[in-house]
Amino acid sequence: MTKRYGRPRPPHPRLRLSARRASGGPASDGGGRVAVDRLSFTVRPGRVTGFLGPNGAGKSTTLRLILGLNEPTSGSATVDGRRFRDLPRGLRHVGALLDAHDVHGGRTAEGHLAALARTNGLPRRRVGEVLDEVGLAEAARRRIGGYSLGMRQRLGIAAALLGDPPVLLFDEPVNGLDPEGVLWARGLFRRLAAEGRTVFVSSHLMSEMEHTADDLVVIGRGALIAAESLAEFAARGSGGGVTVRTADPAAAAGLAAALAREGATVRPPGGAGGALTVTGMDADRVGAFAFRSGVALAELAVRASSLEDAFMELTADSVEFRKKEGGGAR
């Protein structure tokens, strides 16, 4: 478990962002266009908050705003009521992993963390503690240039934990981790939140958020789409319904067309592979209709709306690149 030191901190630090507008930079979305537009939200302590959005939504720019690396044209990002730049020895207040590659490859992990500790007035013993925490103790004196991406991610997490901060920001932290590493990271984030810390995790992996997050902040084109609990967000999707699989795949197309004529929405419309997802009609009616139509079913099950369903529906207008009808991308 992460070790604490020093004076007790005031409980329940909150992370707040209220930015009217901000432009993205090379590290975020590749240019000077508006990346954040009238974006406001609060991240609560004691919970893991997932941060989701399509590519180019402004997630990286938002994290940089919180850390004072980008400036909004108006508004502010505060940690416990103060801007990051106004926090003395910032690593004691906020720990962050933004880019696992942003480390000098010629240094050792131990040397890198020791330099961070020295410049932030942190005790040297924290270096060994966080290396143990992330499982890099045996690789502490190896040069970072020889690290895998997963090891670099662990080192970035160690750096975020170095100041034992009450607020933690992680940008795509499980990229490059093997399955064991993903489970470890998931448990770490949950434990940090259970200690009362504010944990904000950006990810594009819906499945990971379902296993890790308590709350979600979802943005699209730099604007807020949702800020609510995971369960509340998932319930907003209409992607539930009835899963139907025909015993004869060739019969699926006819069943799909017949159900559509009855007012149901059927995906895929042609019933490819004999599997259908039906909304707008309950399972009893779908089963009875298939029976009357002489279609034998191999599966008939109620399908709950998933996080991915809700995300795809609610961010549909915020996706920058999607396939055109008939091929190609736009």
pLDDT of residue 277: 85
Spatial distance between the Cα atoms of 263 and 281, rounded to a whole number of angstroms: 8
| pLDDT greater than 80 at residue 304 | no
Residue 270 has pLDDT above 60, yes or no: no
Q: pLDDT digits over 191-207, tens only?
A: 999 999 999 999 988 88
**How high does pLDDT run on average in the chain?**
85
pLDDT tens readout for residues 146-187: 999 999 999 999 999 999 999 999 999 999 999 999 999 999
SS3 243: strand
Distance CA 302, CA 252 (A): 18
Q: Look at residue 28 in the predicted model and tell me its pLDDT.
A: 38
Interval 116-142: pLDDT, tens: 999 999 999 999 999 999 999 999 999
At 244, the amino acid letter reads V
Angle of CA points 50, 189, 102, to nearest 5°: 80
Q: Do domains 15-230 and 241-303 have the same CATH topology?
A: no
Rounded average pLDDT over 85-112: 93
Q: Which fold has domain 15-230?
A: Rossmann fold (3.40.50)
Of 9-23, 31-45, 59-73, 109-123, where does the model show the most confidence?
109-123
Angle at which helices 125-134 and 149-161 cross, to 10°: 140
When computed from its CA atoms, the radius of gyration of the chain, rounded to whole angstroms, is 24
Domain boundaries, the chain: 15-230, 241-303
* CATH 3.30.70.100 corresponds to the domain 241-303: yes
**Between 109-119 and 149-161, two packed helices, what is the crossing angle to 10 degrees?**
20
List residues bridging with 224 in a β-sheet: 219
pLDDT digits (tens, 9 = 90+) for 22-57: 665 433 344 555 677 788 999 999 999 999 998 888
Is pLDDT of 258 > 80? yes
Q: What is the DSSP string of 271-317?
A: -GGGEEEEESS-HHHHHHHHHHTT--EEEEEEE---HHHHHHHHTGG
